[in-house]
């Protein structure tokens, strides 16, 4: 008996016709790995993802090597990938120096990483919640002058390991500050994976009431408590059309030990295919990539879809 290779397509009313998958595996997925990963493997990983039809692939980051040593080869990776027409390859930068390094590597999309809570801002950025924008404003101004779009990640949107529950109105304030300073869009991060669908709907509703357009909102769920797909569906029901995911469910956060793996891209694509939502992603190629990477890393695959299809 062989497993079903595709879900039964059963469209549901009130959902988007198309969803943009923002693949974070090469950056967020690999940044916390203990195994030293060669530049060649990273380049092959990104090329495999573009060949599978993934439209946005976050390739690397340009942060201090001592902070995230796994991604110290960002320039080498950017020089080695085969850029497919129509595919975006954003990179994460923390400051102007990182932006200059990214531009020198021909990065055409960048992202900055903000916090919704005081505790995480202090631990991750070395700044207070009030002062964190002073890090981003010069980056946003410089990027704008070069015509480079900037995504604003907002971490700890739903729960914080040091502070507990997070006030959604404070999250909205941080998102509004980023957008007002020049971010083209934002990504709402459930960094420790504690969110539930009601929280997701509440936060998106508050952002809409503040005047944030749905097409400027992305969601980034970790699967610590097994809620990533249900939270994604809640976001889709609200009208969000950009979803972050990581092939194989890889990922975590170097500065929040309770942050476990991301939503697996294969699991997301299976659900979206079943709902009749277009992504442009080839599920079989994605599963093959996940199996290939897991063999290299020497660790089990957390994606349930890949586990099923690899039997």
pLDDT digits (tens, 9 = 90+) for 73-101: 999 999 999 999 999 999 999 999 999 99
Would the CA dihedral through 236, 240, 241, 245 be positive or negative? negative
Boundaries of every domain in the chain: 20-309
Active-site residue list: 253
pLDDT tens digit sequence for 33-66: 887 899 999 999 999 999 999 999 999 999 888 8
- Which CATH number applies to 20-309: 1.10.3720.10, 3.20.20.70, 3.40.640.10, 3.30.390.10? 3.20.20.70
Mean pLDDT of the region 220-229: 95
Over residues 268-277, mean pLDDT: 98
Task: Give residue 219's pLDDT.
Answer: 98
């Amino acid at each position: 008996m062989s497993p079903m290779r595709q879900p039964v397509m059963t469209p549901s009313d009130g959902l988007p016709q198309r969803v943009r998958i923002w693949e974070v595996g090469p950056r967020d997925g690999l940044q916390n790995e203990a195994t030293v990963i060669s530049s060649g493997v990273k380049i092959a990983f990104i090329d495999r993802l573009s060949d599978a039809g993934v439209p946005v692939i976050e390739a690397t980051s340009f942060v201090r090597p001592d902070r995230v040593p796994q991604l110290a080869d960002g320039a080498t990776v950017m020089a080695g990938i085969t850029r497919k027409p129509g595919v975006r390859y954003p990179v994460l930068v923390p400051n102007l120096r990182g932006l200059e390094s990214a531009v020198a590597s021909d990065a055409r999309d960048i992202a900055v990483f903000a916090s919704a809570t005081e505790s995480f801002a202090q631990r991750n950025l070395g700044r207070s919640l009030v002062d964190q924008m002073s890090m981003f404003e010069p980056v946003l101004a410089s990027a704008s002058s070069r015509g480079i779009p900037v995504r604003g990640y907002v971490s700890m949107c739903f729960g914080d390991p040091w502070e507990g529950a997070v006030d959604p109105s404070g999250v909205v304030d941080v998102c509004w500050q980023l957008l007002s300073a020049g971010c083209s869009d934002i990504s709402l991060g459930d960094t420790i994976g504690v969110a539930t669908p009601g929280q997701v709907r509440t936060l998106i509703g508050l952002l809409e009431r503040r005047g944030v357009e749905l097409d400027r909102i992305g969601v980034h769920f970790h699967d610590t408590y097994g809620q990533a797909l249900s939270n994604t569906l809640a976001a889709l029901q609200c009208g969000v059309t950009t979803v972050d995911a990581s092939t194989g469910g890889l990922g975590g956060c170097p500065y929040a030990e309770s942050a476990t793996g991301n939503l697996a891209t294969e699991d997301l694509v299976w659900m979206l295919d079943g709902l009749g939502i277009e992504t442009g992603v080839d599920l079989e190629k994605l599963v093959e990539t996940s199996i290939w990477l897991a063999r290299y890393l020497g660790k089990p695959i957390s994606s349930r879809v890949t586990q099923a299809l690899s039997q």
